[in-house]
Amino acid sequence: MPPSSLGAAAAVLALIVWWLGRRRPAVMLRSTDASAVAALNRAQLEAPLSSGPFSQSPAERSAADPGTGHLEDDLPVPPPGRPPSPLERRSLLGRLHRGLRGDSQARLAAIRAARRWGDQAVLPLLRRGLRDPDPAVMREAALGLERFRGRTPATQVRLAAPPLPRNVSRTL
């Protein structure tokens, strides 16, 4: 192929790329009317807050419904003397997870119960509590994690016994 035809092909290719780059991008919301969405947002913002679940303070809610006042009573921890059965363990972890999905009082109660339990199974819950927006929950989670700082007992036992020399058969 002669060099002049290569130059012509490159020029045509450059012209095509330039022409495609000049086209306008398609308008995304050309036919969509956003006034209905805006009206819905305004209606939700102007709705009275007295009918919602957050209209009362936690003290008023617990006075109105005595079953929700103390979530800590709903989250019993197993006694420290005996390990829980797998069914009890799964049940308690499920209740703790559900407590972390609630409001700030429920999250605080769940983190307190996890701290009282002190098992390694609650470590992910306590770590999640460190990222909570409520400072009381963060403080409680940090206090719960203090128990797990440092070396684990398995590491301490492993480090206590010195390793055998490579040529054990010759040392006897």
Q: Write out pLDDT tens, residues 13-32.
A: 998 888 887 766 666 655 66
> Which pLDDT belongs to residue 141?
94
Q: Which residues of 38-47 are buried (b: 16+ CB within 10 A; e: fewer)?
A: eeeeeeeeee
> Which pLDDT belongs to residue 65?
45
Cα-Cα end-to-end distance for the chain: 84
Q: How would you class 142 by CB atoms within 10 Å of its CB: exposed for 0-12, middle for 13-18, buried for 19 or more?
A: middle
For residue 42, what are its two tokens? 């305004």
Q: From CA 79, how far away is CA 152, in angstroms rounded?
A: 22
Q: Are 130 and 138 in contact (CB under 8 A)?
A: yes
> Which pLDDT belongs to residue 157?
57
Phi, psi of 32 (to 5 degrees): -90, 130
For residue 114, what are its two tokens? 């996890």
> Which pLDDT belongs to residue 160?
65
Confidence class for position 138, pLDDT limits 50, 70, 90? very high
> Which pLDDT belongs to residue 108?
93
Confidence class for position 38, pLDDT limits 50, 70, 90? confident
Encode pLDDT of 49-98 as tens digits.
Answer: 545 444 454 445 444 444 444 444 456 677 666 777 888 889 889 999 99
User: Over 50: is that where the pLDDT of 40 sits?
Assistant: yes
User: Over 80: is that where the pLDDT of 164 sits?
Assistant: no
> Which pLDDT belongs to residue 31?
60
Q: From CA 134, how far away is CA 110, in angstroms rounded?
A: 13
The model carries a pTM of 0.48
For range 91-107, the mean pLDDT: 90
